[in-house]
Structure formats: structure tokens, C-alpha cells
Amino acid sequence: GSGQSQAETYAFILARETGLDPADIELVASPPDCRLTGAGSIGSRSTVSAGSAVADAGAALRARLLAIAGLRANEAPEELAIARGAILRRDGSPVMTLAAAVAAAGGEIVVTGAKPVAATFPSGCHIAEVEIDRETGLVRLVRYVAADDSGVLVNPRVAEGQIHGGIVQGVGGVLGEGMRYDSAGQPLTGSFMDYTMPRAADVPGFVTLDLPTPSPTNPLGAKGLGEAGTTGALPAVANAVADALRSIGATLPPLPCTPLRVWEAIREVEF
């Protein structure tokens, strides 16, 4: 995967559509005989686009399984359900196992899913509070609150983790991350030994609020949130630093707001 827990999320979607256990679902991305190509996992599009296709495939698979069981039990498919690895009647009595249904179909059921969707746009409000040490210029993030509308959260645990990671990325962009070069143009920040990145001890516990409004543009009701944390954190933290400096008549230095740059901004008005 590419780091966004997509296999887990797609398994959740397929499980919800079919009644399968997520633990029984294996995602195989780009098998050797696949000729299809995609645009990649970019633009906060994976859950909305690929997830909607997975949901469509799941609905097709569910319909096939219930149709097979309906013929076996002489029941209408809509009177049946899938749970605990079996196809059940409404009263909970089993019709057949899923393995038996697949065997009845010849040992394999192939379905496809495709669901063109329109773009979605999450919204939110991020608020940061910082403290600045006048003597050193060190900026410390002391409080952060993020309220986001990311539509229906397919995988809330992963969604919260993406918000947290995005916030930290934004904090790093404002307070320290940046490429440095010497007078000859040689990079001085060529490794993580030299490149300033925030650590867990550099940020407070975040308060994250989920205020969902389901998107009408896709069957999941989801909105792409992959960039929400960083998009909110960059202006929130930069504005917090600017507000703190403004209280003494200083102006925000060019980003990133390293201790040296902040210290120089303070000295311009205090000396």
C-alpha cells in the first residue's frame, strides 16, 4: 500500500456491502495479468473513487450470492442476508455457507465494480495556540483544535490518524522544515540528521472533532480528507505565530519560522 491503510479501508467497504468478515477479505492490487492503469493515490481521491468502485463490486457480489442461495432455498433474494460466513433467512436459519454458494457457482464468482463520481470537498476549522520564547525565538505549539467535515468516515480510526499526521506535517512546514544550502549550492539538509522535523514531544495532544455531512456525489457519502490536516495546520499555526508577534509590534518572518528568524523579528522591534 501507499501508507493510507487502503487495504483495510476497502475491506471495510466490501464487508459492509456483502456481510463478509473483513478478516476474510484479501486485497490484490495490480495482479500480473492486469492491463488496467489508474491515476494513482493522489488528490484525496482513493476512498471516494476506488472505494465507490469497491462498494459497487460488493453490491454485485452480494446480489450473486443471494441469487444462488435463493434458488437453493426457493426464497426471494431480498428475504435473505449474509452474516457469519453464511447466507441466512430472516429468522436466522442458515440456507448455505458462502463457500457452498461459491462452489455452486463453479468455484469462482467474478464481478466488477465501476462508479464514476464527482469531486468532493471537505471543510473544517483548525485553531492553533502558540507560545514564543522572546529570548530564544523558539515557538511552542501548546494547543490545537481541529473540526472537520469529511463526510461519512468509512474507517474512523484511520481517518483520525490521517488528520493527526497531516497536522504534524503542517506544523513542521511552519516551524522548521525547509531545504538549506551553503554558498556553493550544496544542500545542508540532505538527511534526517540535519532536516528539522517535528517529533511527538514537539506537539500537544490534538482535539479533533468530526462534524460529518454526507456527500451526495458518491454512494459512500465520503469526502477526501487526505490533505485536510496539512491544509488546516499551515495557516492556523502561521497565523498563531503572526498574532503572537503582532502583540509586540513584530511581523511574521518568512517561513519556516525557525527560532533564529523569530528571534530576529523580535529584535527588530525591541532593540
Question: Is residue 57 domain-shared with residue 155, that is, in the same domain?
Answer: no
Whether the predicted pLDDT of 39 surpasses 90: no
- % of the chain exceeding 90 in pLDDT: 58
Strand-pair partners of 141: 130
Give residue-wise pLDDT tens across range 90-110.
Answer: 888 999 998 899 898 888 888
> What average pLDDT is seen over the chain?
90
Model's pTM, two decimal places? 0.84
Stretch 129-154: mean pLDDT, rounded? 96
- CATH code of the domain covering residue 264: 3.30.365.10
Stretch 200-220: mean pLDDT, rounded? 93
pLDDT at residue 125, as a whole number: 97
Question: Is residue 84 domain-shared with residue 206, that is, in the same domain?
Answer: no
Question: Is residue 93 domain-shared with residue 128, that is, in the same domain?
Answer: no
Residue 112 resides in a domain: no
Stretch 167-177: mean pLDDT, rounded? 95
Residue 156 resides in a domain: yes
Contacts of 265 (CB under 8 A, 6+ apart): 137, 245, 250, 251, 252, 253
| CA-atom Rg of the chain in angstroms | 26
Give the structural domain span for 222. Answer: 123-270
Q: Contact at 8 Å (CB) between 180 and 262?
A: no
pLDDT at residue 116, as a whole number: 81
pLDDT at residue 1, as a whole number: 43
Nearest alpha carbon to residue 2 among 27, 33, 35, 24: 27
Residue 172 resides in a domain: yes
- 44 — pLDDT class (breaks 50, 70, 90): confident
Question: Is residue 77 domain-shared with residue 150, that is, in the same domain?
Answer: no
Q: Contact at 8 Å (CB) between 77 and 67?
A: yes
Question: Is residue 218 domain-shared with residue 84, that is, in the same domain?
Answer: no
Structurally, the chain folds into a number of domains equal to: 2
Question: Is residue 86 domain-shared with residue 174, that is, in the same domain?
Answer: no
Helices (H), the chain: 6-18, 51-73, 98-104, 156-175, 228-246, 259-270
Residue with cell 462534524: 211
Whether the predicted pLDDT of 2 surpasses 60: no
Whether the predicted pLDDT of 149 surpasses 90: yes
